[in-house]
Chain A
Amino acid sequence: MSVLVIAEHDNTQLKPATLNTVAAANVIGGDIHLIVLGHSCQTAAEEAAAIEGIDKVLLADDAAYENQLAESAANLIKSVSNDYSHILAPATTFGKNVLPRVSALLDVQQISEITEVVSDDTFKRPIYAGSCIATVKSNDAIKVITVRATAFDPVSANGGSASIDSINADGVSELSSFVGEEIAKSDRPELTAASIVISGGRGMQSGDNFHLLETIADKLGAAVGASRAAVDAGFVPNDYQVGQTGKIVAPDLYIAVGISGAIQHLAGMKDSKVIVAINKDEDAPIFQVADYGLVADLFNALPELSDQL
């Protein structure tokens, strides 16, 4: 058995979800190889080679992979797939974009967003916004899998000394091209990697009021998130969204402010270690999952909280 993990990176640094995906590969067992595809991404490949437990890094460094667009990336991954029993990617927007394309090229039914490895062919994954957990067995020859990062503790980024094998570009596609991107710049930690997250919902009433959360976030070193309702209302951008159709987080502390607690939101945060809910409606469903609930008007509670931190 050997497992290929698709590394996520920005051509300079690996994204932390790669380490959680390697952790899932470890449970499956066998040799673990990482593929780094990008452009001028030697430092990312070196970082990959240093990850504990990696046997080999495949490096495809070519201008065609600079933005890791799905068409060329999927063709390349398919071209190396014969050597592997499992192909894994993190269930991030990158992995979700590329891996199903690989899966169909291989005529394989992908297993999305696993939260547990039961055996080398059997996995657990949430369905219906996490209302139920399904145990599924794959009968395909190659298992193509995306991994929910929060369900696996990351492996150590150090201690490995894998070889780096360069591979040539293969199946470069010109069906799509990169135009530009707007990446939010923030001094706060990334939502999915933060140990504390403070999120606002419709109860925040406006985007301007999110500064009440930001002040607290900066005191705690926390990331700021939001419910879908707050995104739909235009208070904050979509990359703030925590939930079934947004990001999945599991920090040590999750503070939900003015969030009622629809199942779609709970799907994205209910595996957090400690949950705090602040809501003026004492019957809000969020209190059913909260370790500490405070029934209060958030416009009084947040400044008070900020003062006491």
Chain B
Amino acid sequence: MKIIVPIKRVVDYNVKVRPLGDQSDVDLNNVKMAMNPFCEIAIEEAVRLKESGTASEVIAVTVGKSDSQEQLRTALALGADRAILIESDSLLEPLGIAKALANVIEAEAPQLVILGKQAIDGDNNQTGQMLAALLNYSQATFASEVVIDGDSASVTREIDGGLQTIKVSLPAIITTDLRLNEPRYASLPNIMKAKKKELDIKPVAEMGIDTSPRMELLSVELPPTRQEGIKVESVEELVSKLTNEAKVIS
């Protein structure tokens, strides 16, 4: 079985992102970049399926600028066999990303596509579901457990009230939630080996698909700040403040 894992280069989760001075966009000058955390979980799941003998090949794919090769190399160091960069001069919206990924997936014909449930930059939570729609594949989002069984997969999903298990026919799109697995770290020998693995570059402009933006970013601002509170000295004082001042308990 062949597995494709789309990944994304994002601002490292430890960075506090701020608007540019003119509020036209976020300020991404000189910030640390990393692979989106949910994508690391997706790579890990695919690599485990390969290690258990279920999968034969794991291909990491991303849609982005040339610098996204860095995250593809990380994916290769974590165990992906080869990588494809769908190169774009500008950062695409989720719909455009899904169209570009669909183009590669149609050519590669994998049985499974595993990707993160959301990227921590735009917090959109869209790409996997859109990809499933464009390819007319089944979808299992927010997965906490994946069991492959012949030509279908049984997937346990994290839903608001608890857990739901569904059976999806392959090929399927699975998006990862936090508890699916705990991703490994890349070892130094594997990082060295990853440099020699195959990394193809396909310009998105040559795919003949419409990835033009549908949205305009009008402004980016800081959220309203909360007024600074006070420290109380004791539980007794806390209860008194909540009862008499804030009036939120009685």
- Which listed segment binds A: B44-52, B53-61, B66-74, B214-222? B214-222
Distance A293 CA – B242 CA, assembled complex (angstroms): 12
| Main SS class of interface, A | mixed
| Main SS class of interface, B | mixed
The answer to whether A296 and B231 touch across the interface, beta carbons within 8 angstroms, is no
Closest to B175 in A: A97
Q: Contacting A196 at CB < 8 Å: which of B17, B18, B248?
A: B248
The answer to whether A232 and B125 touch across the interface, beta carbons within 8 angstroms, is no
Q: Scoring A residues 82 to 100 as 1 if CB is less than 8 Å from chain B, else 0, what string do you get?
A: 0000000000111011111
Q: Contacting A294 at CB < 8 Å: which of B140, B167, B216, B232?
A: B232
B159 cross-chain contacts in A, Cβ below 8 A: 93-94, 181, 239
Q: Contacting A176 at CB < 8 Å: which of B11, B139, B238?
A: B139
Distance A96 CA – B129 CA, assembled complex (angstroms): 9
Distance A254 CA – B122 CA, assembled complex (angstroms): 26
- For B, the interface residue count at a CB cutoff of 8 angstroms equals 83
Distance A137 CA – B213 CA, assembled complex (angstroms): 11
Q: Scoring B residues 103 to 144 as 1 if CB is less than 8 Å from chain A, else 0, what string do you get?
A: 000000000000001101111111111111110111111101
Interface members, chain B 192-250 (any A CB < 8 Å): 213-223, 226-232, 234-236, 238-239, 241-242, 246, 248-249
The answer to whether A126 and B230 touch across the interface, beta carbons within 8 angstroms, is no
The answer to whether A70 and B125 touch across the interface, beta carbons within 8 angstroms, is no
B161 cross-chain contacts in A, Cβ below 8 A: 183-184, 190, 239
Distance A305 CA – B239 CA, assembled complex (angstroms): 8
- For A, the interface residue count at a CB cutoff of 8 angstroms equals 92
Report the minimum CB–CB distance from A156 to chain B (whole Å). Answer: 23
The answer to whether A238 and B179 touch across the interface, beta carbons within 8 angstroms, is yes
Q: Is A69's CB within 8 Å of the partner chain B? A: yes
Q: Is B162's CB within 8 Å of the partner chain A? A: yes
B132 cross-chain contacts in A, Cβ below 8 A: 70-71, 101
Report the minimum CB–CB distance from A190 to chain B (whole Å). Answer: 8
Interface members, chain A 188-236 (any B CB < 8 Å): 190, 192, 196, 220, 228, 231-232
Given A131-B16, A232-B178, residue A108 in contact with residue B138 (CB < 8 A): no
Distance A137 CA – B122 CA, assembled complex (angstroms): 15
Distance A127 CA – B17 CA, assembled complex (angstroms): 9
Most B C-beta atoms less than 10 A away, residue of A97, A111, A190, A294:
A97
Q: Is A301's CB within 8 Å of the partner chain B? A: yes
Given A104-B98, A132-B26, A176-B140, residue A292 in contact with residue B223 (CB < 8 A): no
Closest to A277 in B: B229
Report the minimum CB–CB distance from B133 to chain A (whole Å). Answer: 4
A103 cross-chain contacts in B, Cβ below 8 A: 95, 126, 130, 133
The answer to whether B162 and A182 touch across the interface, beta carbons within 8 angstroms, is yes
- Which listed segment binds B: A39-47, A157-165, A245-253? A245-253
Report the minimum CB–CB distance from A172 to chain B (whole Å). Answer: 13
Q: Scoring A residues 165 to 177 as 1 if CB is less than 8 Å from chain B, else 0, what string do you get?
A: 0000000011111
- Which listed segment binds B: A28-36, A48-56, A57-65, A268-276? A268-276
Interface members, chain A 85-137 (any B CB < 8 Å): 92-94, 96-105, 107-113, 122, 126-137
Q: Is A155's CB within 8 Å of the partner chain B? A: no
Given A101-B133, A181-B165, residue A108 in contact with residue B235 (CB < 8 A): no
The answer to whether B160 and A134 touch across the interface, beta carbons within 8 angstroms, is no
A309 cross-chain contacts in B, Cβ below 8 A: 239, 249
Given A70-B141, A71-B139, residue A292 in contact with residue B214 (CB < 8 A): no
Report the minimum CB–CB distance from B134 to chain A (whole Å). Answer: 5
The answer to whether B120 and A129 touch across the interface, beta carbons within 8 angstroms, is yes
B213 cross-chain contacts in A, Cβ below 8 A: 109
Q: Is B40's CB within 8 Å of the partner chain A? A: no
The answer to whether B133 and A104 touch across the interface, beta carbons within 8 angstroms, is yes
Distance A297 CA – B161 CA, assembled complex (angstroms): 31
Report the minimum CB–CB distance from B165 to chain A (whole Å). Answer: 4
Report the minimum CB–CB distance from B14 to chain A (whole Å). Answer: 9
Q: Scoring B residues 81 to 102 as 1 if CB is less than 8 Å from chain A, else 0, what string do you get?
A: 0000000000001110010000
Distance A270 CA – B229 CA, assembled complex (angstroms): 13
Give B residues with C-beta under 8 Å from A: 11, 13, 16-19, 26, 38, 93-95, 98, 117-118, 120-134, 136-142, 144, 154, 157-169, 172, 177-179, 213-223, 226-232, 234-236, 238-239, 241-242, 246, 248-249
The 4 tightest CB contacts between A and B, nearest first, are A175-B138, A100-B129, A104-B130, A104-B133
Give A residues with C-beta under 8 Å from B: 67, 69-71, 74, 92-94, 96-105, 107-113, 122, 126-140, 173-184, 190, 192, 196, 220, 228, 231-232, 237-239, 241, 244-245, 247, 252-253, 263-264, 270, 273-276, 282, 287-296, 301, 304-305, 308-309
**Subset of 17 A-B contacts with CB under 8 Å:** A93-B160, A97-B129, A100-B130, A100-B133, A132-B222, A134-B220, A140-B214, A174-B169, A231-B179, A238-B144, A239-B160, A244-B123, A245-B118, A245-B120, A270-B223, A296-B235, A308-B239
